[in-house]
Amino acid sequence: YGSVDILVNSAAYTNKTKTDSFDNSFENTTLESWNQMLNVNLTGSFLGCQTAAKYMKMGKGGSIINISSLYGVVSPNHKMYPGTGIVQPIAYTVSKHGVMGLTKYASTWLAEDGIRVNSITPGGIFDGHSDLFLERFGQLSPNGRMSKKEELDGALIYLASNASSSVIGQNLIVDGGWTTW
């Protein structure tokens, strides 16, 4: 239609799309794996923001929504993971903290052009996790469970719509209360 009105930056390495040393300990993470994850999770978000902003400026505004992570706000609770087949590598946490910084920077740079930049921090999203992981996660979350993908829909619609016309540089946390402890 000749314009870009909304960008949702959501690409990231996860436990389903791993780098070569995704499962390695902090001490054994390879530089290649570190760079791969930062390139997708952080540099990819930067490039998406940069490209969309050029088109949004021509259209006199828009909304950029960066998807961060629970681990862009807090560090992983490493005691939760042993025996579950799930890990959270250092580069994931660092990249998601970077997405938060990118959001704040871009929001102040682009606001005068009518472009709103915000982020959403999902908590754990259920995706076929093991019973052991679900039990541990539930014990650490005030609502006692992981979120469903569709529970992010309201936050996305809000930040994409004019209902959030004065929301700039904010991080909307949708985590079942995880970060309130």
The catalytic residue positions are 92
Region for 73 from its dihedrals, namely left if φ exceeds 0, alpha if ψ lies in -120 to 50, beta otherwise: alpha
Question: What distances in angstroms separate CA 67 from CA 20, 48, 114, 154, one per listed residue?
Answer: 23, 12, 20, 14
Which residues fall within 8 angstroms of residue 109, CB to CB, at 6 or more apart? Answer: none
- Say how many C-beta atoms besides its own lie within 10 A of residue 32's C-beta: 11
DSSP H or E segment with residue 106 = helix 90-110
